[in-house]
Amino acid sequence: MVGVEVACSSCGKETELFLPEGVVPELFSPPELTAPSPPTPYIQMGNAAAQTGNSDPAKGLGIASMILGICSITIFPFLAPIPAVICGHKSRKISKQSNTSPSGMALAGLITGYLGLIPLLYIFVVLIALVLHYL
């Protein structure tokens, strides 16, 4: 180790550095202090597709159809099948008119909606048979 005296470039005070033999110290200046840049005045947050108008209108109907279809075979078997089928068909029609691929969620809503209609049709047929039997 070799001691080398170096003067500080900012205050001028001399300091002794101990470096391995053969290493020559480089002269350097302290980093320049700059003020931080001001914050950007406007920051957009949120869904960019909704802001630019590039969202597919059929996508929302497809999601609604799927949710209603799932509800038609689980939670609300008497209320949800018909809206699920209507939303699914509307979503697929809008997709075809706008030349986009139909949503798989709309198809899932159609399938589950029609499955939810089966018990309704069965109950309807049984009620008709009972009414006709007792008349």
| Comparison of pLDDT for 129 and 51, the residue scoring more | 129
Highest mean pLDDT among 34-38, 47-51, 60-64, 98-102: 60-64
What tens digit of pLDDT does each residue of 59-110 get? 999 999 999 999 999 998 889 999 999 999 999 999 999 888 888 999 999 9
State the SS3 of the chain.
CEEEEEECCCCCCEEEEEECCCCCCCCCCCCCCCCCCCCCCCCCCCCHHHHHCCCCHHHHHHHHHHHHHHHHHCCCCCCCHHHHHHHHHHHHHHHHHCCCCCCHHHHHHHHHHHHHHHHHHHHHHHHHHHHHHCC
Tens of pLDDT along 107-133?
Answer: 999 999 999 999 999 999 999 999 999
